[in-house]
Each structure stands twice: as structure tokens, then as C-alpha cells.
A and B are shown apart, each in its own frame.
Chain A
């Protein structure tokens, strides 16, 4: 009973928690949060079960409400999004767990923040699992609307950046709808699989070309790809502190997944202009990788540095799409998983430092490793992984990307990959230098305890991210095998 309905239950669990969270917060301050934590934990357990089912038995097709497939909404879970759903629910769970330490004193705001966080997780899970283009739009907007609210909760700077994000994000949603309208007008269906079949049969190249002209900017804005990234640095910097790991670590990856679905699953290789579209994407990613890294070097606020480095890191993913061989696509997806834990982990660490010392300035990080050994450890490991030093996750994703690019003889991509990694090294070694060498500045502790460096709810995410970064790196062969189950025959 549960097993056959897993795909929809994973989405429904945080949604139900969001619906009752406010009510329960009115009864007791922490009750609503507890329910949200429990619901996301349930999603996490079910998503792991689902991943096992998918690995054993192949893709799951789930028709919501048993409506026949091209007419009703379908959820399609293959090994790609099964892995990504596990990633979302794990980071979502850690974020909800640690967000309690940054909560607002006013109970109503506290309850609302948890409600919106649960809605954000719902939207992300829905975007990952849906197989219907319009359903994707609805989940995209659920995600975006809750993200606007969470960014606005981060103080007066946050409100302005949330408003700017709202305007730009709505333009993206509108462009996406135009793309859907064009494809729907040509095929008469909204189901992804069905649409792919119909586009295969007829001569629809012009429609696909026009639609992809709208879809690339749409997803580009949502995932903060280079020329469309303007909203991103300030939004990531000023978001509500407890929710930053989820917003900056996971939110950009789902539009990238949707972009992959469009270009490789729906349009497919019979689309004659796909090479040109991917070349455009490649140019964007190459410039983005350099631009993001260079901008990150200038920042002294660590949050802003991490935000700009996200611009560069998201370009690695689109670079994998631009190359388009199964190996490069596997590298892109491995980077999606790995980067979520690296960036999420870095934001967990900065959150922890902010919680303990009330500062986010890089210059205050002097000899932090003595005072906070675990946090310092994760900061170092995540920084090394960002640079791409084995055996961390970052090295192997870049390795597969380079391998794919070499297979296609795209030497420029490899050169830029290496240069961007060196630039990453420049600013992440700055962080490591501050951590270990610079004299400690006189920052005062706000929270102290004899046994632990931080409260348990903040330590758990740090430890889990540490294990995940190492684990993804060491088990990369297994993960790539799982990814390849769906990627065989998909690429160019």
C-alpha cells in the first residue's frame, strides 16, 4: 500500500505538515516545528525506500488519482531524480532541524517560517518528481513563492532583494509558460513522455527552436546561470539565516534538472538545432565559470563569496549539459549532488559561526579551528571539495565532466574547467588561511557550553555534510552506475 504510492506520499508529507504547522504553533511554540521536522524525516525515509525500488525495478510511473496517463498528471521517478529526491529531503531535513536555532522570537513569525520552509521542500520535491510540464510550472512557482518569503524574512536588506527576485523570477515563469504554450500548441499534450513521442514523429524543429529560446532564459534565471544571475548574490546573502543551506544549496539544481528533462528527454537528439542550443549554453557556462570565480575573490563577506561561487558552480552543471555525452551528463548530476552538500555545508558552517560569534566577516575567522574543530573541519573539507582535490565529491564530478569534454574534443571546456578550479583555489585558500594561520580576532562568544562546540541540532548537519562529501567522493563509481541506468542512450 505504502510502497505503491511512494512518489506521491513523499510530496504530500511536508505539504500536510505545512498546512497544520501554523495551527499547532498557536497551541505551543515548538509543536509546529516538531511536526515539520517529523514530516520531512518521513519523506527522507520514504525517498530512500523509493531509491532502492528504482534501482531494483527500474523507473516508476505513477498516475495521480489513477487518471489515464496522457490526460492526468503523472509522476515519473527514474534513477536520476530518485537520487536528487534523496538529496533534497536530506538537506531539507538538516535545514529544518538547524533552523530552530535562528528562529524569530515572535511565535507567529517562527511558525510562519517553518510553514514556508515545509512548502519550499514540497515544491522542490514536486519539481524533481513530476512528469507533466504544467505541473512543473505549478511546483516551480510554489518553490519560488516560498523562496521569496524566506528571503524577505532575512531583515530589511532581504526584503529588497526578495522583491527584485520576485520581479525577475516572475519574468522567468512567464517565459516558461510561453515555451509550454508553444509546445502545447504543436503537440496538444502536457505529459512529458507523450510530448516526446509526438515531437519525434512529426517535423517540429521550428517550434522546438522557438520554445528553447524561451526555455533557456527561463531556467537560466531560476538557476542563476551567468547572464541571468543578477538577483542571486544578494538574495542568497540576505536570506533568512536558518534556511540558507536549502535555498543556496538545493534551489538552483531543480531548474537545471528541468532543463535536462526538456533538452534531453523531451526534445531528444532528433531536434536538429540541439547542437546550437547547447553551444549557446556552453558559452554561458564558460563565461559564468570565470566571472563567478573572479567576483568571489573580491568579496570579504563570506556569504557573498559563497553566493558568487554558486554562479560559477552552477555553470559546471550546465557545462555538463552542453557537452551532452552520457559521461558528461553523469558528471553534471554528480556535481549537482556533491555541490548541494558542499554549499549547504559551507552555509551550515557560516550559520554556526554566526550563531556562536555573531559575525560573517572573513577577517573574523582567525584560528577558528581551535574554537570550533568540527566546523573548521567541514569548512576545510568543503573548500577542498570546491577546488576539486581527491577524494572529495568535487574532484570526481570535475573528472567526469573533463572526461566527457575530452570525448567530444571540446578542449576549451577543459581549459576553462582547470582555470576556474585554480581561481576557486585562490579564494578558498584565503578561507583556509584565515581558519588556520591568521591571528584570532577578539570576537566574543554568544553561546558556550563545556562539552560541545555547538548545540546538537547544529552539529548534526555539519557531521552529516562532512560524511556526505566524503561519501559521494568515495562511492562515486556506484553513484555513476546508478545515474547511468537512466542516462544510457539519452545523451548526444
Chain B
């Protein structure tokens, strides 16, 4: 029992982060709705942010702001992963914004964001363009014959 306890105390957070990551990836693969896929993508990104924050953590460390009485580096947690993740959060914000605007355009053009419907409509669209192309070619031929 103590072994499991100590394992969970030391590595448990990594296990949870991994589960979160796997949930996100699984969601992207299995969800049919594009909005849900986007949400799962965000969950996945949050998992990585947690992973980095775990790296910066240490027992007995305080926030990385210069305090009187704490002069040693050992007394502060590592601020660098936090800085990195600030950048990663901004990137994930940008990605989400682009994703949402793309979703808006998809909804505008196809009228749906369900993957099955979308595939069906894409097929219809390609058949239609082929038909119009053939029609145009026939018209060209006829005008030439005349």
C-alpha cells in the first residue's frame, strides 16, 4: 500500500496528465462534431501545460518573486516553465481562434459541422462540379460544330 501511495505522491500527477492528454486525443479521433473536436484539442493542450508546470514545481519552493530573507535559488520554484507555458497558452489561443473562425466559414458554406454530413455534401459538390464541367465541354463542342 505504501508503495502505491509513494508512487502516486511522486508520479501521480504525471499519470493524471497523461490520462487528460489521452482523453483529448481520443476525443479528436472519435467525435463526429467539429466543435467537439476543437474542445478536445483544447483539453489536449491543457494537458501539456500541466506537464510543463509539474516540471517547474518543487517542494518548499515559493513563487519566483524576489522576497527578503530568501536569497538562494533553491528557495524558489523554477519560473521558466511558467514563462514557456504563457507563450504556449497564447499559441493555443491563436489556434482556437483560427479554428473557430474556420468553423464559422464551414457552417456558412456547407450548413453543417457534423463530419458525416460534411463528407456527404463534399461528395455532392464534387459530382456537381464534374457535371457542370462536362456540360461546359459539350457546349464548347456544339458551338465549334456550328
Question: Which among B48, B103, B122, B133 has the highest number of chain A CB atoms within 10 Å?
Answer: B48
* Docked pose: A38 CA to B76 CA in angstroms: 48
Asked if A170 and B102 make an inter-chain contact with CB atoms under 8 angstroms apart, the answer reads: no
Residues of the B chain whose Cβ atoms lie less than 8 Å from the Cβ of A145: 91, 94-95, 98
* Docked pose: A162 CA to B106 CA in angstroms: 10
Asked if B102 and A174 make an inter-chain contact with CB atoms under 8 angstroms apart, the answer reads: no
| 8 Å CB contact of B44 from A174, A184, A361 | A174
Does B37 touch A at the CB level, under 8 Å? yes
Does B33 touch A at the CB level, under 8 Å? no
* Docked pose: A138 CA to B84 CA in angstroms: 10
| 8 Å CB contact of B45 from A159, A174, A184 | A174
- Output the nearest chain B residue to A166 by Cβ-Cβ distance: B99
Asked if B99 and A163 make an inter-chain contact with CB atoms under 8 angstroms apart, the answer reads: yes
Asked if A156 and B110 make an inter-chain contact with CB atoms under 8 angstroms apart, the answer reads: yes
* Docked pose: A361 CA to B132 CA in angstroms: 14
Main secondary structure of the interface of B (DSSP, over half): helix
Q: How far is the CB of A72 from chain B (nearest CB, A)?
A: 12
Residues of the A chain whose Cβ atoms lie less than 8 Å from the Cβ of B106: 159-160, 163
Does B141 touch A at the CB level, under 8 Å? yes
- Output the nearest chain A residue to B94 by Cβ-Cβ distance: A145
- Output the nearest chain A residue to B140 by Cβ-Cβ distance: A442
Within 8 A of A (CB), among B109-145: 109-110, 118, 122, 125, 133, 137, 140-141, 144
Asked if B48 and A159 make an inter-chain contact with CB atoms under 8 angstroms apart, the answer reads: no
Number of interface residues of A (CB under 8 A): 30
Q: How far is the CB of B11 from chain A (nearest CB, A)?
A: 13
Residues of the B chain whose Cβ atoms lie less than 8 Å from the Cβ of A141: 91, 94-95
Asked if B55 and A185 make an inter-chain contact with CB atoms under 8 angstroms apart, the answer reads: yes
Does B7 touch A at the CB level, under 8 Å? no
**Contact A148/B140 with A160-B122, A171-B44, A181-B48 known, Cβ cut-off 8 Å:** no
Asked if A442 and B48 make an inter-chain contact with CB atoms under 8 angstroms apart, the answer reads: no
* Docked pose: A444 CA to B140 CA in angstroms: 9
Residues of the A chain whose Cβ atoms lie less than 8 Å from the Cβ of B88: 137, 177
* Docked pose: A160 CA to B108 CA in angstroms: 12
Q: How far is the CB of B133 from chain A (nearest CB, A)?
A: 8
Residues of the A chain whose Cβ atoms lie less than 8 Å from the Cβ of B51: 178, 181
Q: How far is the CB of A316 from chain B (nearest CB, A)?
A: 30
* Docked pose: A156 CA to B118 CA in angstroms: 11
Does A157 touch B at the CB level, under 8 Å? yes
Residues of the B chain whose Cβ atoms lie less than 8 Å from the Cβ of A361: 133
Asked if B99 and A134 make an inter-chain contact with CB atoms under 8 angstroms apart, the answer reads: no
Asked if A163 and B140 make an inter-chain contact with CB atoms under 8 angstroms apart, the answer reads: no
Does A27 touch B at the CB level, under 8 Å? no
Asked if B102 and A163 make an inter-chain contact with CB atoms under 8 angstroms apart, the answer reads: yes
Does A51 touch B at the CB level, under 8 Å? no
Asked if A166 and B44 make an inter-chain contact with CB atoms under 8 angstroms apart, the answer reads: no
**Contact A177/B48 with A141-B94, A167-B37, A185-B55 known, Cβ cut-off 8 Å:** yes
Residues of the A chain whose Cβ atoms lie less than 8 Å from the Cβ of B144: 442
Q: How far is the CB of A442 from chain B (nearest CB, A)?
A: 5
Q: Mark A54-83, 1 if CB is under 8 A from B, else 0.
A: 000000000000000000000000000000
Asked if A442 and B84 make an inter-chain contact with CB atoms under 8 angstroms apart, the answer reads: no
**Contact A178/B48 with A166-B95, A167-B41 known, Cβ cut-off 8 Å:** yes
Asked if B102 and A159 make an inter-chain contact with CB atoms under 8 angstroms apart, the answer reads: yes
Q: How far is the CB of B8 from chain A (nearest CB, A)?
A: 19
Residues of the A chain whose Cβ atoms lie less than 8 Å from the Cβ of B25: 171
Asked if B41 and A152 make an inter-chain contact with CB atoms under 8 angstroms apart, the answer reads: no
Q: How far is the CB of B19 from chain A (nearest CB, A)?
A: 14
* Docked pose: A145 CA to B106 CA in angstroms: 17
Does B77 touch A at the CB level, under 8 Å? no
| 8 Å CB contact of A174 from B48, B55, B103, B141 | B48
Q: Mark A139-161, 1 if CB is under 8 A from B, else 0.
A: 00100010011001000110110
Binding site for B on A (CB under 8 A): 134, 137-138, 141, 145, 148-149, 152, 156-157, 159-160, 162-163, 166-167, 170-171, 173-174, 177-178, 181, 184-185, 190, 361, 441-442, 444
Q: Across the A-B interface, give the 7 residue pairs with the lowest CB-CB distance, nearest first.
A: A156-B109, A163-B102, A159-B105, A141-B91, A177-B48, A442-B140, A185-B55
Additional A-B contacts beyond A163-B99, A170-B44, A174-B48 (6; CB < 8 A)? A166-B98, A177-B52, A178-B48, A361-B133, A442-B140, A442-B141
What are 24 inter-chain pairs, A to B, with CB distance below 8 A?
A134-B87, A137-B91, A138-B87, A141-B94, A145-B91, A145-B95, A145-B98, A156-B125, A157-B122, A157-B125, A160-B106, A160-B122, A167-B28, A167-B38, A173-B91, A174-B21, A174-B44, A174-B45, A177-B52, A178-B21, A178-B48, A190-B80, A361-B133, A444-B140
